Amino acid sequence: MSVWPAWEVREHESVTRWFSVRIDFADGARVEVLAVTAGEGVCIEDVRAQPPLSLDDLTALADWIEEPLVEACGGDAAAQAGGAAAGPLSGRARRAWPSGVEGRRLVAEEYRAAQQDGADPVLAVMGATGHSRRRSLRLIAGARDEGFLTPRHVRR
């Protein structure tokens, strides 16, 4: 197994770091993971596997990468998360987020709060939902369609 830093973003006093993790198995199987460490913990953002992982293997993935990822962070992940790095890693990668109208309303609240704070609203939605950038943009578009956010472009 190998872990290496992919990139890092510093905003004011917070740091978000992405790490690439690669697991090569003796039978030739391979898993590549993009993990993100932020102030609230560690999330798995992307997984690629050859052959594809079963649901049981996907659930166990967090356990496979937890220790090497924390070592690669120099223990920073646990310190940043207030010791909670094991929590997000040992279970599901993303938090439960309500679906439907309630979820779109919460997305709109996160988006507007980030705008008021002068932060990137898309990153705020990504952090709140645990979803990728593409999925977060879809959620934001859904909130706009539902009328919780103003339209992106004024129609003439």
CA distance 39 to 151: 31
DSSP code of residue 131: -
**Is-contact 72 3, C-beta < 8 A?**
yes
Give me the torsion for CA of 84, 38, 77, 5, rounded to 10°: 150
pLDDT digits (tens, 9 = 90+) for 49-102: 888 888 777 777 877 777 777 777 665 444 444 333 433 333 334 456 777 888
Cβ count within 10 A of residue 85: 23
Reported pTM: 0.44
